[in-house]
């Protein structure tokens, strides 16, 4: 066997290190990264986080209350779930309400490029929530997940706007009934 142990001892001496030894209970890489990401979130006034279990920071809920745009007045919640492979895999994000939005399907899946094909480990949770916020300000008809909503938006902004309002109040659009997401006390 190579004289590995003597090399290890040499290294230890050079680093003159007091690196810890013995039985260790290490923090997983994903948790370390999410801890860092969370401290850099800029939530502003329209977003807040909810941790059902604060010890499990890999799973939380993001609440968005847009204060402008067509979705103004609504409250939308998304589950965020990071696997042990985060940040080498993107976070999984799902909308908890059934909403009328061209880029969100009826199961809550979100079409946002950085959540899938354009995800890179250098991106962080803040990049994702900025993207989510943007989806509510600028719904995008060219990347449709809810095809009918996208068609409506393309055809007439005004019709789309009316449909959004109706759906947010729990009404039905083209035969689909959506969840009521209105904040009970309207914003001033």
Partner 1 sequence: MADSNETRRWQYLDQIRRNPGPFNQDSDVSEEALQALGQHKVLVIGAGGLGCEILKNLALSGFKNIDVIDMDTIDISNLNRQFLFRKDDVGKYKAEVAAAFVEKRVKGIKITPHNCRIQDFDEDFYKQFQLVVCGLDSIEARRWINATLVNMVDMDDSDSLKPLIDGGTEGFKGQTRVIIPTLTPCIECQLDLYTPRAAVPLCTLATIPRQPEHCIEWAHIIAWDQEKPFPDLDKDDPEHITWLYQKASARAQEFGITGVTYSLTQGVVKNIIPAIASTNAIIAASCCNEALKIATTIAPSLGLEESYMMYSGDDSIYTSTFKYDRKPDCPVCGGAAKPLAVDPGITLRELLDSFAVKPDMQLKKPSIRANNKTLYMQFPPSIEAQTRPNLDKTLKTDLGLDTGHEIAVTDPAFPTITFNFILSFTST
Q: Which residues have a catalytic role annotated?
A: 111
Looking from the CA of 188 toward its CB, the CA atoms found within 13 Å total: 0
Instruction: State the pairing for strand pair 92-95/76-81.
Output: antiparallel
If binding is defined by CB under 8 A, does position 31 make contact with partner 1? Answer: yes
Number of chain residues interacting with partner 1 (CB under 8 A):
59
Binding mask 121-150 for partner 1 (x = CB under 8 A): x---------------------xxx-x---
Looking from the CA of 151 toward its CB, the CA atoms found within 13 Å total: 5
If binding is defined by CB under 8 A, does position 159 make contact with partner 1? Answer: no
* Residue corresponding to tokens 């109706």: 166
End-to-end CA distance of the chain: 75
If binding is defined by CB under 8 A, does position 29 make contact with partner 1? Answer: yes
Stretch of 54-62, 67-75, 167-175, 179-187 contacting partner 1, by CB under 8 A? 54-62
Contacting partner 1 (CB under 8 A), which of 14, 16, 45, 55? 55
| Cα distance between residue 150 and residue 160, in whole Å | 9
Give residues 89-108 in contact with partner 1 (rule: CB under 8 A).
89, 103, 105, 107
If binding is defined by CB under 8 A, does position 32 make contact with partner 1? Answer: yes
Q: Is the separation of the CB atoms in 138 and 101 below 8 Å?
A: no
Contacting partner 1 (CB under 8 A), which of 14, 17, 175, 187? 17
Stretch of 43-51, 69-77, 168-176, 179-187 contacting partner 1, by CB under 8 A? 43-51
Map residue 16 onto helix, strand or coil. coil
Q: Is the separation of the CB atoms in 76 and 61 below 8 Å?
A: no
Find the helix packing angle between 147-155 and 157-168, rounded to 10°: 140
Which residues contribute to the site for partner 1 (CB under 8 A)?
1-2, 4-5, 7-9, 11-12, 17-29, 31-33, 35-36, 38-41, 43, 48-51, 54-57, 84-85, 88-89, 103, 105, 107, 109-111, 113, 116-117, 119, 121, 143-145, 147
């Amino acid at each position: 066997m190579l004289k590995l142990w003597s090399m290890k001892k040499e290294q230890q001496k050079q680093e003159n290190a007091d690196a810890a030894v013995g039985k260790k209970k290490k923090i997983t890489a994903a948790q370390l990264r999410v801890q860092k990401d969370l401290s850099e979130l800029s939530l502003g006034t329209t977003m807040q986080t909810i941790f059902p279990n604060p010890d499990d920071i890999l799973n939380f809920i993001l609440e968005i209350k847009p204060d402008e745009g067509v979705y103004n007045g609504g409250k939308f919640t998304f589950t965020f779930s990071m696997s042990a492979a985060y940040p080498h895999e993107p976070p999984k994000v799902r909308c908890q309400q059934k909403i009328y939005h061209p880029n969100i399907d009826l199961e809550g899946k979100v079409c946002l490029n950085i959540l899938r094909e354009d995800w890179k480990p250098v991106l962080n949770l803040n990049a994702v929530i900025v993207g989510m916020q943007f989806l509510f300000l600028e719904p995008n008809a060219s990347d449709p997940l809810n095809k009918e909503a996208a068609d409506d938006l393309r055809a007439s902004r005004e019709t789309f706007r009316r449909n959004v309002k109706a759906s947010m109040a729990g009404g039905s659009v083209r035969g689909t009934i959506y969840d009521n997401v209105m904040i009970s006390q309207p914003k001033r």
